Each structure stands twice: as structure tokens, then as C-alpha cells.
Chain A
């Protein structure tokens, strides 16, 4: 079945550092890809998405590009802030199938 694999955390960075969180997927067909973020004590929020190959999703300085050839959707940000500390989940969905999530990567940004 469909699955998502993302890099294990936790990831600890200093403020203004560059962030990459790797995500690869296995799916039949052509899924849509998502990054969700979960801040402490809150529910999941959609951060960005891409629905077809070579699409780039972006939001709040975060970016991810749908790479069909490498089945990847890596999350990047050029300069992280303390407020970016959260758990980040990569996910996919095909058509009307439910979202399949990765295990999450905890990011801690220190001042």
C-alpha cells in the first residue's frame, strides 16, 4: 500500500539556519503530497501541498517540490525561527483515499 517515509528527528537548529526535512513516498498512481505542521498543544495544520509532478508548494517561507523521478517531497526553509519549532508530517493522498502520514519529524529551533 501507499506509504511515506520521513527523516527521523529530533532536529535541532539555531535560529536563521537552513532547514531540510526529507520525505520519500511509495504510491500507486499519482498522489497529491502534503506537509502538515503540529505546534505544541494544537491540531494538525496544512502547511503546503503539491498535486502533480514538478509542482512547488510554498507557505510561510517553507517550500517543497514534488519530484516524481525520486519520489520525494523534501521540506525546506532558508532561515528558521524559534516559532517554527513544531512537529512536521509529510503525507500523501490519491484521489478519494484517506491521507497517509509519515511518523513526523520534531524540529526545535534555539535562539
Chain B
């Protein structure tokens, strides 16, 4: 067990709705990364937060946004949901030192289904 917890574990939404996914980082970690894993695919990097600021972003549209809080927990928000947003969303925390992100510890993910 990594100490990274995500909620909810499963949820179902309809097209056009908005969703918020939550992640509690492992104690002592200051960096959180979010990944999208479509069925049968490898995880794709969405963005990373370090000290409450976005610090890198993958090829995802602006309707994917995030927050990192002072306690290093994090949220992923997706607006105007589309069917292709159906996926497992993975949160990973790490301890960033001297510009190196460090080893990632993943949560079990939130499985989003968009109907």
C-alpha cells in the first residue's frame, strides 16, 4: 500500500457534466501528478502540481484543470465531459528535490464512466 488515496473509486456521469476527483498524497510528498488511463492503454500524463502550482502539462485541453492544496492533497476537475473521457484516473505523489521529481507512488485510481 502506497499511502496515496483517491476518491471516489467509481463514478458515472453524463456528457456535458462536470466531475471532481480527489487525491490525498503520501505523507511528506510535495508533488502530485495526474494520469489518464484509457481501457487497454498505458497511463497518459495530464499535469503535475508542485507547491500548489501547475508544473507541467500533457496534451489535454483546458477543460482539464487541477488544484493542489497546502496539505499537498489535490483535485482534478473535468468540465463538459465527453464520452472519450471515460477512463481510470490515476494520482501519483512524489517528493521533489533539487529539480528531480522522484519516485512516483500511485493510488488505486478513480474509474470514470461517461454516458
Contacts and interface: CB of A to CB of B under 8 A. Distances in A.
Contacts of B58: 98
B42 A103 contact: yes
Given A43-B4, A93-B101, A95-B100, A101 B43 contact: yes
B104 A96 contact: no
The 3 closest A-B pairs by CB, nearest first: A101-B42, A43-B106, A98-B45
Most A Cβ at <10 Å: residue of B4, B42, B43, B99: B42
Which bracket fits the contact residues of A? Answer: 20 to 34
A18 B91 CA distance: 33
A60 B58 CA distance: 32
Interface of B: 2, 4, 33, 40-45, 48, 56, 58, 90, 92, 96, 99-101, 103-104, 106-109
A43 B109 contact: yes
Contact of A99 (B45, B100, B107): B45
Given A43-B109, A44-B90, A98 B41 contact: no
Contacts, number: 51
Interface string A69-80: 000000000000
A46 to B, nearest CB: 6
**Which of A43, A99, A101 has the most chain B CB atoms closer than 10 A to its own CB?**
A43
B33 A43 contact: no
Given A43-B4, A43-B107, A45-B106, A95 B99 contact: yes
A104 interface: yes
Given A4-B42, A46-B104, A98-B45, 8 more contacts: A44-B106, A93-B101, A96-B101, A97-B56, A98-B33, A98-B58, A103-B41, A104-B42
